[in-house]
Structure 1
Amino acid sequence: MLEFNPRDIYWLEHRSFLEASGYRLRPKFNPEYILNPNPAARREDWATHTRHTIMDAHRISDGQPVMLKAVSTRIHPHEVEIARLFSSPPLSEDPKNHCIPIFDVLTDPDDTDKQIIVMPRLLRFDRPMFETVGEVVDCFRQIFEGIEFMHQNFVAHRDCWGPNLAQDPSLLFPDGFHPIYISQDPQNQHKARHISRTECWPRFFLLDFGLSRRYDPANGPPLERVIYGGDRSPPEQHKRPAICNPFPTDIYVLGNLLKNDFVYSRRLGKKSVILPSLRFLEPLVEAMTRPDPATRPTIGEVIDQLDVLCNDLSSWHLRRPGRKYAFNLRLFFQQIMRTLKRVPPLPQKASQGHRPALSESIRMFYTEMRLPMTTATIDDCELHEK
């Protein structure tokens, strides 16, 4: 008999409900499943997600791979609401919307506090490794565009670090991949075949709205108590009072990701040094990670600055190594062939038109911290700090 990992128990108990709702779990969850003594098959039986709230499945009607996420409405009361907001017309129809689409929301029949979100099965944004500068630029153009769309609708993400950024793998992995061992094929028997991003230009998405909040600009710049996300380095989260405007924090977290995982991803001994091919992004990451939140650019200004920095880059520069490669002979010859075949180093970008300047009040909404008026307000914020 298969012994289940504790992280799988919730999903095992809800297998029948999920099947009745149109979603089938992996074969090992079926009570009639026979344990295979083959070592390779047993590795598949033991495969489990690192978070007990996440599970992979297939939609029974068409076999599409999906991901399931169990959400506690008591702990994260806004997650489903915000996910539905961006998955519903007219926002869902806007091409600038990079929030993960929601296929379905199920209510746990045994616990009304829990809702199960059904989403497409995506892949973490940085796997496989970026090959070229152009691939990095396209990725962050899309991510910045997605955060701008959220901010324009007055929603701060508040946890937009690496694990909450994803890409559509349907073109990148033409034959699919294993939901847990992503370097393996869906059957976990062979290495998964993938092509480069330059050959398919995947779409990138923003995930996990558990800490996200929507604000009313009529109330002025939001005054929000600090809730720590995955990146706990923003300076404003370590000051007293423990309150901040979450919009500049989104800018910092994205800038810190671009800085540490890309621009300074090359190492010399124990020291991180700048990757020469991404040196042109240094002014942008410095602006996005300024210690004073009020001096950071808005996300629209980030996009404008990125465009300016990229405008003078040659096609050959855009084909240079995009992450940790110092020099890679295979990549070098591959880029020569792409140059000869005139494969573009960046996808054609739709014209964004002129981005209107923000009014003074709206810019303050995105950048300033409205100071509390009373000591009681400060004490209340600090009382609820995590």
Structure 2
Amino acid sequence: MPRTVDVDAQISQKTLSLWGTADDTLPEELDPRELWWRDRYKQLSHRGYLLRPRYSPQWAPSWKTSNRDWLDSEDGKRLKYGQVIDATRTSDRKPVTLKRFKRGDHQYEADIALYFSSQAFASHPANHCVPVYEVFTLDAEDDTVIMVMPLLRLYNDPVFDTIGEAMECFRQLFEGLQFMHKHRVAHRDCMNRNIMLDPTDLYPESFHPVATNLNKDCSGNAKHFTRTERPPKYYFIDFGISRRYDPSVTDPKEIPIWGGDKEVPEFQNSNEPCDPFATDVFYVGNAIKMDFVLERRGFEFMKPLISSMIQADPDKRPKMDEVVTQFDEVLRRLSRRKLRSRVVDIHEDLFERVVRTTSHWKRRIGFIARGVPAIPSPPS
């Protein structure tokens, strides 16, 4: 049997010793994952990062003295992932994300993240690696490091309104992966859950970091614009298994290591070292296939390019330079009418379709009248 490494399985095995697990604790009790952060609340505060009230040592559940149910209360929201927590940077009230990990387990993550956040690359428009504000440790004797990043959202939330919005997303993803490869970094896990967007303009009043469909105090839905009105920038996150190669290493090979996408052809029945850059091409192509080509109507024109990116033989997949060139050709052939057409979920029922189509056309007429471009571009 091949001995392909499964990162998710490794993390699951380490969960008990590193992060704790979410057990059947009561809402007013912190689970073991949360206790780690609660116990470092003051240290993080002194460092300039304020956690939500739930993680203060003085926290008392708000629903005990209010008429709200704990499910509707802001401080009733647990962490989704024990190694990641939201916080507020006290110097400017900016919402941020704190991620903790053992440097010994992910020895290259901080270095690669900081490499792309360096002065040389931070402002480059083709750089779509998540910005990292700082990396620090709380205990000199501990191998755990904390990385500070902006608060982001999954790249497909909220839903895409138009084909043009999706095409701008694809363009940025291809551009970003091309930029990484140009600088000899293979992401090695750039599947859909590791693609995010900057919500700053889309959600000007922000949102709750756990219940992301709600506003910050969970009193109602989080209000947002469409991507056409407020174009976001998309980012790749999580460089835990990424690698950076010296330019002299022209043909790097890596033993297969499973990320979140379990469909990589070259990993299925072999543990032979393979090209990590070709695997990246598969990952991002498969993300678009799974989230758009298969789940949304109207993306048939992307099938030839996506099919070439996810073909079984990694040697036959295009390099990212070729992907970008071919994508530009596809984009040039699309009419403005096509670009302004609505993204239709294949699972929509008739009622949803009527409601969404009606609201879409109202927006569309307004955008055309105001001269809003069919392909939104984020501010540089």
Q: Which residue of 1 aligns with 2:53?
A: 27
Tell me, yes or no, if structure 1 residue 280 matches structure 2 residue 308: no
Code of the residue aligned with 2:111 in structure 1: it is E
Distance 1:321 1:111 in 2: 54
> What's 1:189 paired with?
219
**TM-score with structure 2 setting the length:** 0.86
Q: Secondary structure of 1:105's partner?
A: strand
Q: For residue 310 of structure 1, what is the amino acid of its counterpart?
A: L
Aligned 8 A contact 1:5 1:46 in 2: no
User: Shift of residue 264 of structure 1?
Assistant: 1.3
1:329 paired with 2:358, answer yes
Deviations 1:304-352, CA, capped at 9 Å, x for gaps: 11110110211110011225167522213321332232211113599xx
* Counterpart residue type for residue 224 of structure 2: H
Give the direction of change, closer, same or farther, for the CA distance of 1:27–1:349 in structure 2 (3 Å limit). Answer: closer
Q: Note if 1:290 corresponds to 2:311.
A: yes
| Residue of structure 2 in register with 1:382 after alignment | none
| Structure 2 Cα separation of the partners of residues 341 and 84 of structure 1 | 41
1:260 and 2:290 are equivalent in the alignment: yes
String of CA shifts for 1:352-386, please: whole Å, max 9, x gaps: xxxxxxxxxxxxxxxxxxxxxxxxxxxxxxxxxxx
Q: Tell me, yes or no, if structure 1 residue 210 matches structure 2 residue 240.
A: yes
Matches within 5 A, 1:50-69: 50-69=80-99
| Paired letter, 1:52 | G
2:233, 2:378 within 8 Å by CA — same for their partners in 1? no
Equivalent-residue separation in structure 1 for 2:242 and 2:67 (angstroms): 43
Tell me, in whole angstroms, the C-alpha distance in 2 between the residues paired with 1:70 and 1:138: 32
Structure 2: tracts of 5 or more residues without a match: 1-26
User: CA 1:239–1:216 in structure 2 vs 1: closer, same or farther (change >3 Å)?
Assistant: farther
Q: Which residue of the partner structure matches residue 367 of structure 2?
A: 338
For residues 137 and 94 of structure 1, do their structure 2 counterparts lie closer, same or farther at Cα, with a shift above 3 Å needed?
same
Give % identity. 37
How many residues align? The count is 342
In structure 2, relative to structure 1, the CA distance for the partners of 1:142 and 1:40 (3 Å cut) is: farther
Whether contact under 8 Å (1:4, 1:46) holds in the other structure is: no
- Cα contact 2:191–2:283 (8 A) shared by 1: yes
1:223 paired residue among 249, 253, 278: 253
Matches within 5 A, 1:1-386: 2-36=28-62, 37=64, 38=66, 40=68, 42-43=70-71, 44-109=74-139, 111-266=141-296, 275=297, 277-324=298-345, 327=353, 328-347=357-376
* Backbone CA RMSD of aligned residues: 1.9
Partners of 2:376 and 2:226 lie apart in 1 by 13
CA contact (8 A) 2:191 2:284 kept: yes
Task: Give 1:166 shift.
Answer: 0.8
**Partner AA of 1:20 in structure 2:** H
Q: Following superposition, which runs of at least 4 residues in structure 1 exceed 6 angstroms of deviation? A: none
TM-score by length of 1: 0.85
Structure 1: which 5+ runs fail to align?
A: 267-274, 351-386
